[in-house]
Structure 1
Amino acid sequence: MSGAPLVKICGLRDAQTAFAISDFGLPVDYAGFIFAPSKRRVEPHEARSVMEAFRAQAPEFVGVFVNPLRDELDRVLAAAALDVIQLHGDETPAFCREVKERYSRVKVWKALGVRADEAHDDEAVSARLDPYADAVDAVLLDAWDPHVGGGTGNAFRWEVIPAYRAWADRKGIVLFIAGGLNADNVGDLLGRFPVGAVDVSSGVETDGRKDIEKIRKFTERVKGK
């Protein structure tokens, strides 16, 4: 792995945050918008207004979906010029491959929940992820929740990361780590288990809203500035 890890700030909802990220020159690589049921859900026109607010410092824009229908993807992509479709539900490798073919200019990421009661050794990880190898551009690991699957703001057991990273390195696929990250623990994560990309949402919020100072601290810890 070379260079500083990539940073994705997810769950953006307002132009003020985008203006602040741009004005302060914060090194955010991806800006994420939730189109699935969530307290952070946005409509396509709202996401578009946030995109426009990023001005010169434009990260790549990620739309997060859970088990979407093709009509939903068509509607969102027609209104908001996403660079990435992140699938955060029970989407099969075949569905991911179909999305990748249907929207050829857009990258496809697959989020996977890490369950404590499952094996995560090299053999188990290969069995789980090999079917996705030609269907996605990145894999995102998040804490698994029986009700919502992920996006809970909780961390999973980081000791499983090396097996997933080894698989991603072999396949040339980016591995994102999400779940419970913030400015206080992301340095520990990267020191113990170096990865190429991290994803944060609730960890850079105060009272449910994005906090520009927390975003600044988080990005500086990740980028080593």
Structure 2
Amino acid sequence: MKPTIKICGLQGVEVLKSIQSLPIDQIGFVFAPSKRRVTTEQASEMIAYLNHIKGQKDRNLPISVGVFVNPTEEELTQVLEHAALDVVQLHGDESPQFCEWVKKKFGVQVYKVISIRGEHIDVNVDASWFDEIRTRLECYQDVIDAILLDTHDPVYGGGSGRAFHWELIPQYAEWAKQAEIKLIVAGGLHPDNVRKLVDAYEVDGIDVSSGVETNGRKDIEKIKDFVERLKRDDYSS
């Protein structure tokens, strides 16, 4: 099965109108500090547009994902009272208890981001590096729907536009499969490398933001190119 596609960091309805015909599975709205940050009103407008066109299409349209970093309960409540998100993506140090509260309180899916730092680990020599990580992940197993791997950014936590070492993916993928949780990969993806990733590793979803931008703004042609390369039927390189 082909991985789902999430285009993250949209800030206006006009971009949605330009890409609504593409087979995109998720649209991401950033509520955390970022140059792509949106207000609740902006997100509500885009979600309303998605809901408006759902009745006019004969296929599934993208679901909405809100990206947060260490939000308070009050912040999440304020946002979700006005923006009917389908998924809350938590990009900080949120505890399993907080994830469980979000899931039960709002009835949404919860994605927990795992920020991967730049150091390289020779996984072929020693796989014990994952033991501690596995122990931490198991605490989240029953309260999240997906883990999302992204490159650590010291300022924003993620969204750096840099790739991490993909050799680390199989350990996470094996755990996610056993836990029956989706595995999504972000970090430095763009039209020229996304097929390399999906041909080499089994992932459930792909998340892209800066890789489909030009001068900090979403580039419609790059989005189309990204989606075409990922969704085409022939998966041979």
| TM-score, normalising length: structure 2 | 0.88
Retained in 2: the 8 A contact 1:85–1:107? yes
Tell me, yes or no, if structure 1 residue 86 matches structure 2 residue 94. no
Within-5 A mapping of 1:76-225: 76-103=79-106, 105-117=107-119, 121=127, 122-225=130-233
Partner residue, 1:4 = 2
Contact 1:125–1:167, Cα closer than 8 Å, also in 2: no
For structure 2, the 5+ residue unaligned runs are none
* Residues 118/158 of structure 1: CA separation in 2 closer, same or farther (3 Å cut): closer
Deviations 1:153-179 (A, max 9, x none): 111000000000000000110110000
- Offset of 1:117 from its aligned partner? 4.3
State the alpha-carbon separation in 1 of the partners of residues 191 and 38 from structure 2.
25
Count of aligned residue pairs for this structure pair? 220
Task: Please state how far the C-alpha of 1:5 moved relative to its aligned partner.
Answer: 0.7
Contact 2:149 2:186 in 1 (8 A): yes
Cα pair 1:142 1:178 within 8 Å, conserved: yes
> Residue 174 of structure 2 aligns to which amino acid in structure 1?
A
Structure 1, unpaired ranges of 5+: none
Larger radius of gyration: 2
Match of 1:69 among 65, 69, 72: 72
Q: 1:9–1:30: 8 Å Cα contact kept in structure 2?
A: yes
Percent of aligned pairs with the same amino acid: 49
Alignment match, 2:15 = 17
Contact 1:18–1:51 (CA<8 Å) still a contact in 2?
no
TM-score (normalised: structure 1):
0.93
CA separation in 2, counterparts of 1:112 and 1:59?
23
Q: What's the offset of the Cα at 1:191? A: 1.1
CA contact 2:2–2:204 (8 Å) conserved in 1: yes
Q: CA deviation at 1:79?
A: 0.8
Displacement of 1:116: 3.8
